């Protein structure tokens, strides 16, 4: 039975009850965020609905209810409302390519199928010359972004990372380099033997523009100890991010979900990110990453469900009220769930990607990449307006 919306609660149509970041354009003229679905919400979600309409922050307990409620559609409708007030009917994507300069890694994270020891036939360390040739032959002038990440190699010198960046910028000066997770930056600073603040300046001079959100996994000491002990612990991931934001870089944040973590641990992760974003404002987007178990020591766990992915994307959107954007990373969610996620709180689906190893080594069945027209078509088919963006969310072009 539909419940009428309290007239005094809903923000005037076309405005967001939550503060808008510069990269949130708000709805275009004539587009009204969907209020109808909010009238069909289950009784237990009504207090949360009213908070969302008022632009009030949700509590940890609200998050627990959103993870527990059988009203998945209601949860999605709330997240969708929030997204539509900020981004209207638009879904953004970027024209990018991944570059994994090495898969050799000194850590043995239990969730990872990508890492190699270094002596296997398929262990890779790309020389700057190899990277230059790749940029020359496989990248184009219209490409917007290169996403550069690798394993934590035990013996590459600091100069290698500077040279990698200089090579990219000299070959493709217009390409935005989104590179190095907080784990890599922490290691690079250790190699440099200098304070990270100084290293961040040198990396910027060499060509680093922003940083991706990988490596956060689940910001939980319990999960860290069980699955990635030895790697940068949660409090150091947060501290490194704080310093990276203070140095003027924008970064993303991820959460690897669907393995041994509880929903409370997911919420702990979200509220820690939310507190850091309140403090620094340096995050551009949040990306929930669906765990792929094949070829990992956690293979027996199997893969989580589509409904868990949708719910996690929706709860993330609702809890992270200070994050401008939430991404459904199609490579990991699968294309079909990514399309539905555009009505469950996601306003972006990442990019063309082209060459993806981390998830495909772990059994992903999605394509290795999509063309910009394929990206635009799948967004359009999902009932959204496809908009090409750059890494920092400048909207460049409505496509198709
Ligand atoms: O850090 C590793 C995760 C991350 C698996 O910032 C796995 O724009 C699933 O962070 N199954 C790398 N996930 C990917 C990533 C990313 C991707 C796209 C865009 C951005 C961005 C960031 O993938 C790793 C780790 O958390 N991962 N192994 C696996 N088996």
DSSP string for residues in 288-327: EEE---TTSTTGGG-PPPHHHHHHHHHHHHHH-TT-SEEB
CA of 215 to the centre of ligand 1 (A): 7
d(CA 326, CA 313): 8
Q: What is the chain's mean pLDDT, rounded?
A: 95
CA of 171 to the centre of ligand 1 (A): 26
Give pLDDT, residue 29. Answer: 77
Ligand 1 nearest-atom number relative to CA 253: 6
Give pLDDT, residue 34. Answer: 86
Instruction: Identify the residue whose C-alpha is closest to ligand 1 atom 14.
Output: 214
Give pLDDT, residue 13. Answer: 58
d(CA 294, CA 300): 9
Q: How confident is the model at residue 1 (pLDDT cuts 50, 70, 90)?
A: low
Give mean pLDDT, residues 273-284: 98
- Quick one: tokens of 297? 């020591």
User: Which pLDDT tens digit goes with each residue over 356-390?
Assistant: 999 999 999 999 899 999 999 999 999 999 999 99
Q: Is the pTM of this model over 0.85?
A: yes
Q: How many CA atoms lie within 13 A of 311 on its CB side?
A: 20
Give pLDDT, residue 127. Answer: 97
Give mean pLDDT, residues 70-89: 96
Give mean pLDDT, residues 30-41: 90
- Quick one: tokens of 53? 């309409």
User: Which pLDDT tens digit goes with each residue over 89-103?
Assistant: 999 999 999 999 999
User: Which pLDDT tens digit goes with each residue over 298-344?
Assistant: 999 999 999 999 999 999 999 999 999 999 999 999 999 999 999 99
CA of 30 to the centre of ligand 1 (A): 37
Give pLDDT, residue 188. Answer: 98
d(CA 321, CA 325): 9
Q: How far apart are the first and last CA of the chain?
A: 39
Number of neighbouring beta carbons within 10 Å of residue 48: 23
Instruction: Identify the residue whose C-alpha is closest to ligand 1 atom 30.
Output: 292
d(CA 177, CA 349): 19
Give pLDDT, residue 9. Answer: 65
Share of the chain above pLDDT 70, in %: 97
Q: How confident is the model at residue 17 (pLDDT cuts 50, 70, 90)?
A: confident
Give pLDDT, residue 329. Answer: 97
Give pLDDT, residue 15. Answer: 75
d(CA 161, CA 158): 6
Helices 60-68, 263-280: axis angle to 10 degrees equals 140
Give pLDDT, residue 269. Answer: 98
217 has pLDDT over 70: yes
Pocket (CB within 6 angstroms of ligand 1): 111-113, 181, 212-215, 217, 252, 254, 256, 287, 289, 291-292, 296, 329, 332, 350, 358-359, 362
Give pLDDT, residue 10. Answer: 60
Q: How confident is the model at residue 8 (pLDDT cuts 50, 70, 90)?
A: low
Contact 245, 278 (CB under 8 A): no
Look at 15-29, 75-89, 219-233, 277-291 and tell me which has the smallest mean pLDDT. Answer: 15-29
Q: How confident is the model at residue 5 (pLDDT cuts 50, 70, 90)?
A: confident
Contact 350, 363 (CB under 8 A): no
Pick from 256, 259, 332, 354 the residue to mutate for probing ligand 1's pocket: most ligand atoms within 8 Å of its CB.
256
User: Which pLDDT tens digit goes with each residue over 52-65?
Assistant: 999 999 999 999 99
Ligand 1 nearest-atom number relative to CA 290: 9
Domains contained in the chain, CATH given: 97-398 (3.20.20.70)
Strand order in the sheet with 96-99: 96-99, 145-148, 176-179
Considering only residues 10 and 325, tell me which one the structure prediction assigns the higher pLDDT.
Answer: 325
CA of 276 to the centre of ligand 1 (A): 20
């Amino acid at each position: 039975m539909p419940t009428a919306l309290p007239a005094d609660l809903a923000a005037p149509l076309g405005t967001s009850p939550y503060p808008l970041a510069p990269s949130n354009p708000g709805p275009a003229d004539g587009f009204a965020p969907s209020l109808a679905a909010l009238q069909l919400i289950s009784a237990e979600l009504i207090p949360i609905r009213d908070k969302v309409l008022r632009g009030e922050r949700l509590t940890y307990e609200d998050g627990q209810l959103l993870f527990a409620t059988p009203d998945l559609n209601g949860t999605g409708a709330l997240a969708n409302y929030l997204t539509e007030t900020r981004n209207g009917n638009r879904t953004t994507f970027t024209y990018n390519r991944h570059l994994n300069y090495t898969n050799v890694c000194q850590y043995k994270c239990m969730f990872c199928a990508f890492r190699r020891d270094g002596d296997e036939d398929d262990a890779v360390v790309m020389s700057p010359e190899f990277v230059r040739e790749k940029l020359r032959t496989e990248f184009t002038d219209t490409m917007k972004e290169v996403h550069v990440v690798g394993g934590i190699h035990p013996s590459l010198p600091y100069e290698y990372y500077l040279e990698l960046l200089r090579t990219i910028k000299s070959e493709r000066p217009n390409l935005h380099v989104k590179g190095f997770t907080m784990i890599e930056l922490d290691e690079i600073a250790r190699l440099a033997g200098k304070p990270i603040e100084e290293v961040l300046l040198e990396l910027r001079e060499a060509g680093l523009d922003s940083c991706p959100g990988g490596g956060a996994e689940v910001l939980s000491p319990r999960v860290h100890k069980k699955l990635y002990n030895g790697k940068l612990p949660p409090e150091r991931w947060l501290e490194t991010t704080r310093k990276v934001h203070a140095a003027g870089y924008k970064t993303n944040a991820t959460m690897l979900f669907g393995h041994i973590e509880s929903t409370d641990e997911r919420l702990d992760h979200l509220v820690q990110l939310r507190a850091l974003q309140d403090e620094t404002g340096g995050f551009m987007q949040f990306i929930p990453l669906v765990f792929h178990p094949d070829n990992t020591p956690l293979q027996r766990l199997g893969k989580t469900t589509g409904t868990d992915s949708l719910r996690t994307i929706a709860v993330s959107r609702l809890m992270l009220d200070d994050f401008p954007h939430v991404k459904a990373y199609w490579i990991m969610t699968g294309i079909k769930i990514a399309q539905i996620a555009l009505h469950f709180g996601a306003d972006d689906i990442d990019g063309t990607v082209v060459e993806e190893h981390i998830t495909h080594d772990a059994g992903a069945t999605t394509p290795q990449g999509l063309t910009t027209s394929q990206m635009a078509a799948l967004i359009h088919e999902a009932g959204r307006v496809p908009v090409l963006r750059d890494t920092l969310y400048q909207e460049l072009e409505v496509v198709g």
